[in-house]
């Protein structure tokens, strides 16, 4: 069962990466949508804000990530970072993100992008 072996290796790698990226306790960081809104500046060029199209829709398929479940966004980003998902661009981006950054971005996108008023601890 090759899959079971490589699967647990990826899981372990994710745990190790998470540990170095987030020195202060917290296993699952709580996302702050206001911080996420600032971080999302580097995503908007491709993903846009929910509802808007990017400039070159016919060249690349950029999935719409606004309004998706925060858990889904975090797990997708972790999958790019671990290599489980292999898209080169998103891998490069995700590998620059800490767990906290992913949580912030997920909080921001998960609530639809712009309604970032009261973000702390839902």
Question: Which residues sit at the interface with ligand HEC, rule CB under 6 A?
Answer: 42-43, 45-47, 60, 62-63, 65, 73, 76-77, 85, 87, 89-90, 93, 105
CB of 1 vs ligand HEC, minimal distance in Å: 25
Residue nearest to ligand HEC (CB): 43
Nearer to ligand HEC, 5 or 63 (CB): 63
The DSSP-derived string for the chain is -HHHHHHHHHHHHHHHHHHHH--SS-SSPPP-HHHHHHHTHHHHHHH-STT---S-TTTS-----TTS-HHHHHHHHHHHHHTSS--HHHHHHHTT--HHHHHHHHHHHHTTSS--SS-S--
């Amino acid at each position: 069962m090759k899959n079971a072996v490589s699967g647990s290796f990826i899981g372990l790698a994710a745990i190790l990466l998470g540990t170095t990226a987030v020195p202060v306790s917290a296993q699952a960081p709580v996302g702050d949508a206001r911080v996420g809104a600032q971080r999302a500046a580097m995503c908007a060029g491709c993903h846009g804000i929910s509802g808007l199209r990017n400039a070159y829709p016919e060249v690349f398929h950029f999935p719409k990530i606004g309004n998706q479940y925060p858990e889904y966004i975090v797990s997708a980003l972790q999958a790019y970072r671990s290599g489980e998902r292999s898209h080169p661009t998103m891998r490069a981006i995700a590998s620059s993100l800490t767990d906290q950054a992913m949580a912030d971005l997920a909080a921001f996108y998960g609530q639809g992008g712009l309604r970032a008023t009261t973000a702390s601890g839902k």
